[in-house]
Amino acid sequence: MRKKVTIVGAGNVGASCAQRIAEKGHADVVLVDIIEGIPQGKALDMLQSGPVVASDSRLIGTNSYEETQDSDIAIITSGVPRKPGMSRDDLLLTNVEIVKGVTESVMKYSPNCIIIIVTNPLDAMAQLALHVSKLPRSRVIGMSGILDTTRFRTFLAMELDVSVEDISACVLGGHGDTMVPIPRLTTVGGVPVTDILPQETIDRIVNRTIKGGGEIVSLLKAGSAYYAPSAAVAQMVDSIILDKKRILPCAAYLEGEYGIEGVFVGVPVKLGMRGIEQIIEIKLTPEEDAALKKSAEAVRELVEVMKLR
């Protein structure tokens, strides 16, 4: 029996997530949106691609949460996207009420689900979902590190003219300008990238990684990234549904790991059918540790603005 995945938000991110997940054939998908006709039309269009892509996954589009009942995973993408000149943090107060309402609706029908947060500012929205859902911290996960890492890997592959498959990268911290790429632990075919590229080039690529989302926003002018984020979400869903226990960088609620308490921060985790099954702690240099704690404090500032009680 296939698993059931609910995706809230039928915009570019949500619809792309639905397509990627359905095409793998591991789960049935319910696409929810408040705009009448949009989730129904997109779901029907994707469903009709099944015979071509050889997927028997069922897709349903709806404006109601009733059809999401007993979902195994709920992916929250709904919210206002970034516009040029807007930081992820600028979205905070606008998206708080949206994510709060969505989380309450999801939990009403699927109290035992795993929640994946995509809405920005991602780390703060994950903390909000954890607070509202009252789920264990292992069952509320932010999609951030995979996206940040894949951007880092992409830019390195372009610079070196090598396959992205041979690049393993490490990016920690919040999903924003304070993220912490770790070149020391980034390898190309097992060789540290610091042994291959000069520091000046690495610094340039790190800076582009940190500003990767903003670069896309400035080019699109009327929206933000969705192909890469949806690919990241699909990788997380695979690891959970198939119990792959992949070690993936995700936003997780820390309770003392890395010396950080009470906020969501991007770190490597073991992702399986129970959600986050282990938080992997990497030994950091003093400089890396300081940068990670600074990133955590930036997230904490946003959380304090939300006044969660």
Residue 226 neighbours by CB under 8 Å, 6+ apart: 11, 12, 13, 16
Paired sense of beta strands 114-117 and 191-192, if any: unpaired
> Dihedral of the CA atoms 263, 265, 271, 276 (nearest 10)?
-10
H/E segment holding residue 6: strand 3-8
Task: Determine the Cα–Cα distance for residues 84 and 37; give it in Å rounded to an integer.
Answer: 29
Give ∠ CA 33-264-229 in degrees, rounded to 5.
45
Closest CA to 12 of 166, 220, 164, 219: 220
* CA dist., res. 284 & res. 265, Å (int): 15
| Residue 26 is a catalytic residue | no
Look-up: residue for tokens 């490490």?
170
Contact 299, 179 (CB under 8 A): no
Which one-letter DSSP state was computed for residue 173? Answer: B
For residues 240 and 243, what is the distance between their CA atoms, to the nearest angstrom?
Answer: 5
Residues 6+ apart with CB under 8 A from 28: 2, 3, 4, 5, 57, 58, 59, 60
Integer Cα distance of 33 and 76 in angstroms: 11
The active-site residue out of 42, 82, 175, 246 is 175
Using CA atoms, how far apart are residues 152 and 169, in angstroms rounded to an integer?
Answer: 7
Q: What positions carry a catalytic annotation?
A: 175
